[in-house]
Amino acid sequence: MDRFIYTIEGLNVWVGRAFGWCILILTLSVSYEVFVRYVLNAPTVWSMDMMIQMYGALFLMAGPYALAQDAHVRGDFLYRLLSPKTQGKIDLVLYVLFFFPGMLALFWYGAEIAADSWRYKEVSWNSPARIQIYFFKTLIPIAGFLLMLQGAAEICRCIQAIRENRWMQRLSDVKETEQLLMEEAEQQEKRA
């Protein structure tokens, strides 16, 4: 079961890192647009559409990554006081009742939307550049699929937590500065 969990988690971490480069593309394109618009007085017709698609791609593909890293927002002021076994039971019920129906809808209807978009070779009507958007719409069912895959891994984690009363370690990736400072403070307390 560990191998299954880490394989899916590794896939979603890799996808998240790959789409993280959208931030660099967004930054460069916004900087370019600001320069040509305000310095050269020659705005582009394509930059707004490209920025919207980059942000949308980043937003969609960051979901599976955030779930794999346990980085989604959670109101855990009571949850964190519970034992891992109880947390696992709560998470398992919530995944089955809410998460999977929502992600199945995202995948199913996203696939329909993407298929229609490809069939019509859909372009943006809100833009003078009329760029293609069917590539972007393809990311909707892909994100839904990756989220369902990660959800299956999370269910396996819940089952392990219920059995062993401990949470399995996650694949390590980038950490928030606050998290690093808290870990450093814990280590200093143990030394003292």
- Please enumerate, as own/partner, the contacts of 41-46 that have beta carbons within 8 Å and a separation of 24 or more: 45/127, 45/128, 45/129, 46/127, 46/129, 46/131
Q: What is the pLDDT of residue 155?
A: 97
State the residue range of the domain holding 68: 2-186
Please state the domain count of the chain: 1
**Would residue 147 count as lying in a domain?**
yes
* Domain membership flag for residue 72: yes
- pLDDT at res. 175: 67
Q: Is residue 192 part of a domain?
A: no
Contact yes or no for 154/67 (Cβ under 8 A): yes
CA 122 to each of CA 52, 66, 126: distance values in angstroms, whole numbers, following the listed order: 16, 30, 12
Q: Is residue 114 part of a domain?
A: yes
32 close to 87: Cβ distance less than 8 angstroms: no
Return averaged pLDDT per consecutive 10 residues of the chain, 192 residues in all: 90 92 90 93 85 89 92 81 94 96 96 94 78 89 97 96 92 73 84 80
Amino acid 129: pLDDT:
75
Query: Could you please report the per-residue DSSP string of 30-69?
Result: HHHHHHHHHTSS---SSHHHHHHHHHHHHHHHHHHHHHHT
Give me the pLDDT at residue 158, please: 96
Q: What angle do CA 6, 9, 12 make, to 5 degrees?
A: 150
Task: Answer whether residue 105 is part of any domain.
Answer: yes
Q: Locate 120 and state its tokens.
A: 């019509």
* pLDDT the model gives residue 38: 94
Question: What confidence score (pLDDT) does residue 8 get?
Answer: 92
